Structure 1
């Protein structure tokens, strides 16, 4: 079975470390090159220092831009209590992009980190996403 690593490009790895540790309580694992490994999310989260304006890849049409951007991939941070987690994220520099919404599976709020990456804070209730599934 494959494993999963999560990488986030940021222009300032020290500032990103302060944000993700302060906002979500991740802990620092290793430091290497221009990267920091954060632990505590079930999979390692790597913050990779990549300056704005550099090529995103060999085939990308546009360079890295850390203004708010849309991507279909984002982080969902699952917490026990949404409001305190939201307050910590805001204090660390997150931008709130939606009101807290209620669903049958729990509660959610949409945010952006200081580098334009979208993320959500989730608080499950009951069986979480299983509240949406039917018994087989």
Structure 2
């Protein structure tokens, strides 16, 4: 099964720059300017242009809002050098929300992209998450 990750944005050029220059993803295919496929992660990331104020679900009273918002789903990006990745993302409009913290498995930092979506950067060390693996 293939999984694709879709992210709504209201400025396609800025979104493409953020995710390519900031995280090193690359443009795959472009579909009529409203849909850009990014490659280079474990799953394709699809940027979907949707204007602020539009309804994400037909008949829903809710509208798209690109200010910082919370959702129980976020993206984690594994990077080699967390400080360098943070610097690149901040230059392209990210907001730092949680400074780098050390964990048994490596390091983590929390940011928001320019469209209000939360994302974490992970820098694994040793065996990564296997450092905290429970044995039964």
- How high is the TM-score relative to the length of structure 1? 0.95
Which position in structure 1 is the counterpart of 2:45?
45
Q: In the aligned structure 1, how far is the partner of 2:108 from the partner of 2:60?
A: 32
Equivalent positions of 1:118-129 (< 5 A) are 118-129=118-129
Q: Aligned residue for 1:74?
A: 74
Q: Quote the Cα distance in structure 2 between the aligned partners of 1:73 and 1:135.
A: 27
After the TM superposition, which segments of 4 or more aligned residues of structure 1 sit over 4 Å from their partners?
Answer: none
Measure how far apart 1:59 and its partner are.
5.2
Match of 1:18 in 2: 17
TM-score where L is the length of structure 2: 0.95
Over 3 Å counting, the alpha-carbon distance change for 1:78 and 1:59 in structure 2 is farther
Which residue of structure 1 aligns with residue 86 of structure 2?
86
| Structure 1 match to 2:102 | 102
Q: CA RMSD in A?
A: 1.1
Q: Structure 1: which 5+ residue stretches go unaligned? A: none
Structure 2 gaps of 5+ residues are: none
| Count of residues paired in the alignment | 135
